[in-house]
Copies of this chain bind each other. A is one copy, B any other.
Amino acid sequence: MHANFTPGPSQLYFTVHDHIRSAMRSSIGSLSHRSKEFEKIFRIAADGLRELLQIPNTHHVFFVGSATEIWERSIQNLVEHQSFHFVNGAFSKRYFEIARQLGKHAEKIEVMAGHGFESNVSIPRGTELIAVTHNETSTGVSLPLEWIYALKDKCPSALLIIDAVSSLPYPAFDFNKVDSVFFSVQKGFGLPAGLGVWIAHERCLAKAYALSERGISIGSYHCLPSLFEHAKKNQTPETPNVLGLYLLGQVIQDLLRRGLGIIRKETEYKAAILYNALNHHKVISPFVKNEKFQSKTVVVADCGPATSLIHEKLRIIGLIPGDGYGEFKNSQLRFANFPTHSKEQVELLVDTLSAMDNITA
């Protein structure tokens, strides 16, 4: 049994190969993005996602190139002067840096890698956008949903945006309590990279229109008003990654058939046995110590000096771990736990790790 546990790009969802074959048979690869057939592809992806994640009609669904693009577009469209960022790893930090690069007054609260945030944080006055990374892919820290929702009460005038790149479709967001959520398709949805999905409340659109009316540049083809005007017609402003959008729609249908309730239970089971193995291991331990911040979808393991040996032993039997991120490259391994990873794959991983209980570098 072979399994790729790198947290992104992830192992493809197991139906993707079949969908690619169907796409080729139906000439999706050369379909005009102004055709009725494309509008159907757009609708299947957007409406399917709405059903899967229970997105209310107050929120729009837009498709762009990557989650990285949404970092930039969200700052451009939702911030005139000031954003506030919760930074606890490489990706939340990059979002903060992009805000600075775009000339905004971005502030942050930063904690050490592997940690979450206290509940008594205060949001600076004048904050227009609160940016939270639900799941730090670099460190395996996940922030509790109730903690996230409470931020909105601390600063009701600000928009609350959630980077859910490596957690969706697992978290059951209450969209009435958040203004925007985004992700990219190559993580939890198990698709080839090249597409970012941006869910945004009417309030986000209103903010973008307001900035634009005050003469502030919000970009061009991918500003929220342009995305909105096209999405109304089930279209995109530019010629998009049509094949990627088709595959997203098809995998969403697969997830709907399987049922997100079941997928969530399986995610929790797989995470539980993996953390349990790490907790009882003599050499390996979870990097995130505080259970309430332990990510269910990206499990990060401190492996110490034995890291490269463990990596090699896993790789040989076809269980590919992700490297530790950045400074942790030589002391950690990361394991994605996405819908595509079967219980059997994770059980084999757990057994294999447990059998390395006396490994030394």
Asked if A219 is at the interface of the complex by the 8 Å CB criterion, the answer is yes
- Decide if B24 touches A221 in the complex (CB within 8 Å): no
- Measured CB to CB, the nearest residue on chain B to A99 is B220
Counting chain B CB atoms within 10 Å of each CB, which of A27, A68, A194, A219 scores highest? A194
- Complex Cα gap A191–B28 (Å): 11
Is A103 an interface residue, CB under 8 A from the partner?
Answer: yes
A171 to chain B, nearest CB (A): 21
Partner of A194, one of B72, B102, B186, B194: B194
Chain B proximity mask over A86-103: 1 for CB below 8 Å, otherwise 0: 000000000000100111
Cβ of A124 within 8 Å of any chain B Cβ, yes or no, is: no
Question: Does A33 sit at the interface, judged by CB under 8 A?
Answer: yes
A32-B9 contact given A65-B238, A72-B221, A220-B98, CB 8 Å threshold: yes
Choice from B67, B220, B239 contacting A9 with Cβ under 8 Å: B239
* Contact between B102 and A72, CB atoms less than 8 A apart: no
Known: A9-B33, A33-B9, A217-B103. A241 touches B244 (CB 8 A): yes
Cα–Cα, bound, A64→B65 (Å): 9
**Besides A194-B194, A241-B244, 14 other CB < 8 A contacts?**
A4-B27, A9-B30, A9-B31, A12-B30, A16-B29, A71-B220, A98-B220, A98-B221, A101-B217, A101-B220, A102-B217, A102-B219, A103-B215, A243-B243
